[in-house]
Structure 1
Amino acid sequence: MANNTVVCPVDFVSVNENKARLTAGLVVILTSLYILTKLWLIPLFLLFDFFARGFNLPSYSLLNIISDKLVAIFSIGNKPTDRAPKRFAAKIGFLFSLAVIVCVALGLKNTAIILAIVLVTFALLESGFGFCAGCHVYGFYSKFLKKKS
């Protein structure tokens, strides 16, 4: 019988899932804007923002700050969840943003758009449905590392 359990990283530090989902919604908006306009500054901004969130520098993330304000303005409740899957997903977002920028720099505009579509899909799943695609990626990543050792 196959083991279909999703494995997520954990660090036992709690964050507000509702805030994380708002941040993912902002990523959906910005990435969609990039897909429509091809303005390379958008993935550059996302690169820095994902870096700040993925490498534990949340006070430098403009999207994190905006989400904080939206949570306060709309009195959105706290739904605790572990921080590690969100950080892992931000690192994946960082890599996708970097790949988009590299593709744009190399003139691979169609590849950049495809990567942006994948990024917006992952962010939409998180924002709209609370589905953490990063947890599934982490599961594959963990299995790959176990096979190598």
Structure 2
Amino acid sequence: MIESEIQYKKQNTLDCPVDFVKVDENRIRVVAFFVVLFVLFYVINGNPVSIGLLLADFLLRAFNLNAYSPLAIISGAVVKQLSLKPKPVDRAPKRFASFMGVAFLFLVLISFLSNFIVLSKVIAGIMIIFASLESFAGFCAGCHVYTLINRFKFSDQGIK
């Protein structure tokens, strides 16, 4: 391959984190649906309790404590009730997305507590978009964000 082809492939592939542990994509998509509902509840009524509950749930899932995550438990029951066939996917991109969710929810909560209500709802709206993409289209923005971070971190300008 010539150098330009290698550079093109490098720029147009995703560098998803991988840990070789499989999780059920259906369950994750149902969790994302509940995230959309909780964040919409905040945007509509302005009560930050749903954001605080989501933040706690995201922290549990980000640190591999899914057995204690109410959304993961409920989503597992929904998937079982709907008799959805498991779709195994790697866990690492989903964990990374959970860490990103923690950051977004923290920003929403801090914005709200600082009385920047409009800013908190804009950040919440961005979160609704990402969670909707995951829930309804199976599109994990975590891989794309992770790839961008790695491109900046390990760019060819000598930063390593």
Q: TM-score, normalised by structure 1?
A: 0.97
Q: Measure, in 2, the Cα distance between the counterparts of 1:129 and 1:72.
A: 20
Matched, 1:142 2:153: no
Q: Distance in 2 between matches of 1:60 and 1:42?
A: 17
Deviations 1:44-64 (A, max 9, x none): 111101101111111121100
Alignment gaps of 5+ in structure 1: none
Q: 2:26 aligns with which of 18, 26, 30?
A: 18
In the alignment, structure 2 segments of 5+ residues that lack a partner are: none
Q: What is the SS of the residue equivalent to 1:15?
A: strand
- 1:126 maps to 134
Distance in 2 between the 1:63 and 1:114 partners? 23
Q: How does 1:1-149 map to 2 (within 5 A)?
A: 1=4, 2=8, 3-147=11-155, 148-149=159-160
Higher Rg? 2
Partners of 2:19 and 2:138 in 1: how far apart?
19
Other structure's SS at 2:89 match: strand
Residue deviations 1:79-111 (CA, integer Å, cap 9, x gap): 010000111001100110011000011001011
CA RMSD across the alignment = 0.9
* Runs of 4+ displaced beyond 3 Å: none
- Structure 1 residues 3-46: Cα deviation after superposition (integer angstroms, max 9, x where no partner): 21111101000000011001001101111111101111111111
TM-score when normalising by structure 2: 0.90
Letter in structure 1 aligned against 2:92: A
- Any idea what SS the aligned residue of 1:12 has? coil
Percent of aligned pairs with the same amino acid: 41
Q: Distance in 2 between matches of 1:52 and 1:142?
A: 25
